[in-house]
Amino acid sequence: MSDDFMLDTDDLERRMKGAIASLRTEFASLRTGRASASMLEPVMVDAYGSPTPINQVGTVNVPEPRMVTINVWDKGLVNKVEKAIRESGLGINPQMNGTIIMLPIPELNEERRTQLTKVAGGYAEHARVSIRNIRRDGMDQIKKAKSDGMSEDDQKLWESEMQDLTNKYIALIDETLETKQGEIMQV
């Protein structure tokens, strides 16, 4: 008899919070028409023989709402940083000034805004799938406990708790997506 079964909701919730944190990181890399240092986080520079984040080869600043500057520490890497930004798909044209690379952030047109909202939707769906996978893991633990002798009432109670936790995090993803899409579409 398994009357002492305890679903590790703390671990499941920690994993769900991790999915939300990952989603927010992905959202931070999407341009909203305003300059942000975080938009460069996914860009990797081939520095010293290995892919390196831009913030590890120079200082990233946002001096104006529509400008990002990168002060590259090593003169030999300036061209590699510039090339990495051009090839990143961010749609930004870097301007060089010695070891400083300036990135003027252009206004987003309606078509690009629509594309970015679709990308944001894809990120959100990926996060929803992660949450559902965590829910499945929890449900598998409950089914195993049921086969070990858990009562049907306890099984339904734990399944209900697991579903409530899932619904809470799916709603949080939807809310975060709605906010991000609003930012993207804002002119």
- Please, what's the b/e burial string for 115-135 (b: 16 or more CB within 10 A of its CB; e: otherwise)? ebbebbeebbeebbebbeebb
CB atoms within 10 A of CB 22: 14
Q: How far is CA 3 from CA 66, 130, 154, in A?
A: 61, 30, 8
Query: Mean pLDDT score of the chain, rounded to an integer?
Result: 88
Q: Does domain 9-27+109-185 fall into CATH 1.10.132.20?
A: yes
At 118-152, the pLDDT tens digits run: 889 999 999 999 999 999 999 999 999 888 888 89
Round to whole Å and give the CA distance between 53 and 55.
Answer: 5
Domain ranges of the chain: 9-27+109-185, 34-104
- Side-chain-facing half-sphere of 57: CA atoms under 13 Å: 28
User: What is the dotted CATH code of the domain comprising 34-104?
Assistant: 3.30.1360.40
Q: Give the closest residue to 58 by CA, choosing from 14, 15, 16, 103.
A: 103
Round to whole Å and give the CA distance between 25 and 41.
Answer: 9
108, 31 in Cβ contact below 8 A? yes
Q: Which positions ≥6 away from 74 have C-beta within 8 Å?
A: 47, 57
- 41 vs 174: which has the higher pLDDT: 174
The identity of residue 19, as a single letter, is A
Position 1 scores a pLDDT of 37
Q: Read off the pTM.
A: 0.69
